[in-house]
Each structure stands twice: as C-alpha cells, then as structure tokens.
A and B are shown apart, each in its own frame.
Chain A
Amino acid sequence: MIELQGITKRYGDLLALDDIGFAVRPGRLTGFVGGNGAGKTTAMRILMGVLRADAGQVLLDGHRLDAATRRRFGYMPEERGLYPKMKVVDQLAYLATLHGFDAATGERRARDLLDRLSLAPRAADPVDSLSLGNQQRAQIAAALVHDPSVLVLDEPFSGLDPIAVDVVVSVLAEHARRGVPVLFSSHQLDLVERLCDDLVIIAGGKVQAAGARDDLRARFGTSRYELVASDAGWLRDEPGVEVVELAADQAVFAADEATAQRVLRAALARGPVHRFAYLTPSLAEIFRELMADSQADSQEVPA
C-alpha cells in the first residue's frame, strides 16, 4: 500500500498542497480527481520523487520510499515525453533495459505490450510520426514495460478514443488484479466512476474526500429516491419528505430509509407504481458539491 502523509508543497506564495494524505491500496484502481490546478500532478510528482515535498512523507507498506524502490514504479507524467526520433519499440526496450532486463527480454516485452495495446503495426515508427492517440498508447506502454510494482499515471485516458480507453482499462485492471496499487488522475468523471474502486478527490490543495467509491457515494449521497407512479403530487404533503423534483407522475425526493418505505407503501395503496429507486449520486454530483464547499471554505486559495 502506498500512503501519502502530510504532504505540503509551496511554490513561492502559492500553497499547492496543504497537508494532504491518502492511500493507494494494492489490487485496486484508485482514481485521483480534482479541478485544474487542484494539485493532482504535484502530488503525483512528489509520489514519484520527481518533485521534492516541503513537508510530509510517502510510505510503501509502512516504509519510507527510497529512490531504489521508486525505480520499480511505473510512471506516466502529465506532459508526455519520449524521444521523438527513436523507434517506439527501441524506446520501450531501452526503458526495459534501464530497469534491468537484458536487451532480448526488453525487446520481447516491448513487442508484447505494443501488441496488447494494438500498437504493434507502429512498432518500427519514430514516436513523432505517430498520431496523438498512438503516442498516448506508447506512453502508457513506457509506464508498463518493466512490470512495475506500483503504477502512477497522470491523465492516462486523455485523448484516447473509447475503444482505446477500453483496451487501456483492461491492461490497468490486469495489473491491479495482480496486486499492483494503481493511481491515476482524470478529468473524465464518468470514466473514473465506472473504473475505480477507490477515489481521492482533491481541491484547493486539500483532500476533500477519499475512500472506496461506494462508501463515498453513501456518505455524500443525500438519500434521494425516485418514484414513478400514476400520481406523485401527494408527496408534497407527506411528513419527512423533501421533494426535489416533481412532475405529474414522477418525483425525486429526499427522505430517510423508513420514510421512503412508508412512501412506497402509500404509493402502492394509491395505484400502480412503475418505478421506485434509490438514487446513487453520480461522481460528478459529489464532485460539484465538494467543489462548491471548498470554494465556500477558502475563497483565497487560487484554483
């Protein structure tokens, strides 16, 4: 397990990270979400040791991370970087040898990975001749070629088409299944919601929420229910019910569990019920709520 504890980073007057802490558990995909400039990239760079924190520490299974351990990590930086004139396969094989694989094994691993990411036909092309989407895949391959013990990926899905996203997701999930902690940042909340087991939500340099996706939903969900029945207008007069949306035959309301069950029974007594459902809040809703809170909390923190 990777743990960040009390990480603080200052750029001049700007407090980029303010005492943040969260964990990336093995075998789970952890999504790292936050607005632009929230501090995701800074936190990931500190995790990778590419940037030095002003305070705090990064632990792997309870031990402070050292450079040698970090070298077993796989990293995809925010700004993509590979040698522009070097062939894709050579580049990946080179990175594999830097991680201790012999040349032949390195090349074999590179080719396997390119095959896996549907990039095999471009193996002998220089990186700068690839389309952006393919460069992105090559970059992901660069993070995976040495069979990392931890994966840290900054926006791995940006610029990928839906099919490529699925391919990459399946590769990442496979790593996670083998017990590798995987942390990735993304702006695509629907994607994060679909993929991640755990979530870390950061805003204004602070962790606003962290934990298992379903726990967060439960925690931040406002216990909303949807009722579709022949008539829904009577809900307004039910005690303990706060109506959020109301049309002729459909309503969204907030209530506690017991009240909701009472409402359902009452609705059945009045006529046929077409739908009654507990509404899980979408990640986007949780995110917006948290953003609104954090902005209300600290107006002076720049985005």
Chain B
Amino acid sequence: MTAVPSAASAPASPSTNRLAVLVAKREILAQVRSRSFWISTGVLLALVLGAIVGSSFFGDVLGKPPKVAAVPQVVEQVEAARLDMVEVPDRAAAEQRLRDRSVGAAVVLGDDGGLLVLGLDSAPTTVAQLLATVPPVGTLDPPRADEGMRMFVALAFGLVFMMAAATYGMTIAQNTVTEKQTRVVEILLSAVPARALFTGKIAGISLLALGQTTALAVVSVVGLTATDRGDLLDQLGAPVVWFVVFFIIGFVLLASMFAAAAALVSRQEDLSAVVQPMVWLIMLPYFAVLFFNGRPTVLTVLSYVPFSAPVGMPVRLFFGDAAVWEPLVSLALLVLTAAVVVAVGARVYQRSVLRMGTRVRLTEVLRAER
C-alpha cells in the first residue's frame, strides 16, 4: 500500500484565467474524444463538399451545350463559339450523326444561306444562343449578382450559422445541466470560481464551433477551387472572412445565453423550456434574412441587429451593398451587446448554478442581492 500523497506538495490555487483555460480544455477534449463529434463534423463537411461538387457536376450536365456536328462551311463559326465539334462532310452525314445520337445538335447551311441548327426531337437552344450574335451588354453600376445567387448565398450563410449555433449552443446547455444534475458542479465550484467555470465553458465550446466553421469555410474554398468556380470565390472570399469574425462574436453572445438559461434548471427534461427563446433567436434571423434578402432596407436593418448581423452583414457584403465602414459599425454593436449579455449571463449562472430543484426564476436571480 502506498502512502497518502504528502501535504508538502499542495500548490497555490491558479488564477481565474488559468482555471478558465483548464475548464475550456476539458470541454474541448470531452467533445473531441467523443465519436459522435467526429461523425457529425464529418457528415457536415461531406454534405457541404457534396453540395458544391454536386452543383457543379449537375450544372455541367444540364447547362453544358451538347456536342455538335458541323458541315465544312460553318466550321469557322462553330469553332468561334467554342463548341465541342465534329466536322462532317455534308448535311446528310450531320443528320445521320444526330440520329445515331453521337451528337446532340448539328449545324448546317440553311436554305437562306444562313446557319441552321438542328436537333433530333428538341430544339437545341443552348447551341443556337451561343451561335447567335448578341450585342455586348454593360451596366452603369457594377453588376449585381442575380436573385438565385442571392438566395443561395443567404441560405448558405444562414444555414451554417443556424446549424452551428443550435448544435453548439445546445451542447453548452446540456453540459451545464449535466453538471448540475450530477452535482459535479458542487465539486467544481469548491475548486474554481463560478466565473472561471462559465468563461471556460463558453470559451471551449466557442473555439470548437469556430474550428468547425473554419473547416467548413476551408472545405467550401477547396470545393469551389477544385470545381473551377474561382469567379464565385473572388466574390465570396472577403464576406466569408467577415462571416467567421461575426460568427465567433455572435456565437459567444448566444452561448452565454444558453449557459445562463441552462443553469436555471436542474434536469435535462426541463431544458427545452428554458432554451426556447434562444432557439427562436437563432432561427428567426435566418428566416428573416432568407425571406427579406431582396428588400435592401429590411436587410440593412437585419445586418445591424446583433442576432442577425452574423448572417445579414456577410450577405450584404457579398452583393457589394454595404459600405466599407458598415461591417465595422455592425461588429462594434455586436461586440458591445455580447459584452453586456455575457456579463448578465455570468451573473445569472453564478447565482443559479448551485440552486437545485425547481426551475429558478430569471427575474428573481437578476434582482437578488448578492
């Protein structure tokens, strides 16, 4: 039998910051060591990569003009239109090619001496458009991305934010209640101040959320590069960086609300009722940005409201709707709100985390004299 470890070695209690780091480290390790974390992360990344590669692939199949058979007289024009072409001696040969389906369209000389584009049973409009002479177009202002693109980008930012905030927000809430329910919190709080526990918990999970969002951003960039969509990347680069910055502050804001709300209850069963407001706060801006992204005034407002700014501002940036200073002001507003909410959240957490039993009333906690 070994002796009880000796008393001489007892070190001084670490600083609150150091304790918060230790708590954060445990939170991260607990997640990273669980298989479900890697599975859900893997599935999410695979889905995003799949969506990018898939959209590019189907875009090619559906939107790409078919192979063309061309008679010698029109070869030059077909080549100029950069169509995939086989040269055939005459119209009969071209028609034969069409019938045996080795080409999707044939370009021959029409009766009027002009070009005639033939299809087998449907008009090959994409080929016709490419061969048509269209006057060059321009805009006075820089061109704006089209509505479909708007929808897609709003959806992408919104979905990533909503999913990450909901997933990791709930992780924080569940961890908090688990600590309360198992009473491990009493042991922890006999070792560390509640503030260190609160800070460490939020820092740890926020870092994980940031890591996953960054991974998503990287996968998107790699996906877009690999599928030759560099044009989109140029437009998307800066907004994505802004998104990550807004995301992390916005997430800390929500995370502290989740932790504080969860500290009010002592059982997992009671959790859904207290996190309801946060779930709305996460979903509402997503739908608002999605539905109102065509309404500049509404979108402008949404890009300043702290809860929707992480989605609203990057969407506006993507379309070049926002002036250079706008994201900075919006970010300052977000940081300020987050600071206030984190402070209030820490207070609520400190005062309710040791109160077991029935749900603690928020008003009571906020009012109570320390």
Residues in chain A within 8 A of chain B (CB atoms): 45, 48-51, 67-68, 70-73, 75, 77, 79-86, 94-95, 97-101, 105, 109, 112-113, 115-116, 142-144, 146-147, 149, 171, 174-175, 178, 180
Contact = CB atoms under 8 A, between A and B. Distances in A.
Interface in B1-54: 1-7, 9-14, 19, 22-23, 26, 30, 34
A68 B13 contact: yes
A72 B185 CA distance: 16
A171 B1 CA distance: 11
6 contacts: A79-B186, A81-B179, A81-B185, A86-B30, A100-B11, A149-B7
B237 interface: no
B363 interface: no
Contact of B182 (A83, A112, A115, A175): A83
A79 B357 CA distance: 13
B354 interface: yes
Contacts of B5: 109, 112-113, 147
Given A50-B354, A72-B13, 13 more contacts: A45-B186, A50-B186, A50-B189, A68-B13, A70-B190, A77-B187, A81-B183, A83-B184, A95-B187, A100-B12, A149-B7, A149-B10, A178-B7
A113 to B, nearest CB: 7
9 closest cross-chain pairs (CB), A and B: A81-B183, A100-B11, A81-B184, A81-B182, A77-B186, A98-B191, A79-B183, A75-B190, A147-B10
A264 to B, nearest CB: 46
B153 to A, nearest CB: 39
A115 B1 CA distance: 8
Given A115-B2, A116-B1, A147 B7 contact: yes
A70 B6 CA distance: 19
Given A97-B22, A116-B1, A82 B187 contact: yes
Contacts of B14: 98, 100
Given A75-B186, A79-B183, A99 B11 contact: yes
Contacts of B296: none
Contacts of A73: 190
B183 A71 contact: no
B13 A116 contact: no
B182 A82 contact: yes
A115 B188 CA distance: 23
A272 to B, nearest CB: 48
B192 interface: yes
B193 interface: yes
Contacts of A84: 178, 182
A73 B189 CA distance: 11
Contact of B190 (A49, A79, A101, A180): A49
B4 A83 contact: no
Interface in B246-284: none
A84 B34 CA distance: 13
B186 A99 contact: no
Contacts of B22: 94, 97-98
Contacts of A175: 4
A98 B3 CA distance: 23
A147 B3 CA distance: 12
A104 to B, nearest CB: 12
Contacts of A101: 9, 11
A67 B10 contact: no
A105 B13 CA distance: 15
B13 A99 contact: yes
B13 A142 contact: no
Nearest to A99: B191
A128 to B, nearest CB: 9
Contacts of A115: 2
A77 B183 contact: yes
A97 B25 CA distance: 11
A189 B5 CA distance: 29
Interface string B166-197: 00000000000011001111111111110000
B13 A100 contact: yes
B10 A146 contact: yes
A75 B266 CA distance: 21
Contacts of A180: 7
B346 to A, nearest CB: 16
Contacts of A97: 22
A98 B19 contact: yes
Nearest to A95: B191
A81 B266 CA distance: 13
B186 A81 contact: yes
Of B7, B19, B182, B186, chain A has the most CB atoms within 10 Å of the CB of: B186
Contacts of A83: 30, 178-179, 182, 184
A116 B183 contact: no
Interface in B179-224: 179, 182-193
B2 A71 contact: no
Contact of A171 (B4, B12, B183): B4
Contact of B184 (A70, A71, A72, A82): A82
B4 A71 contact: no
Interface string B315-333: 0000000000000000000
Interface string B216-239: 000000000000000000000000
A70 B328 CA distance: 45
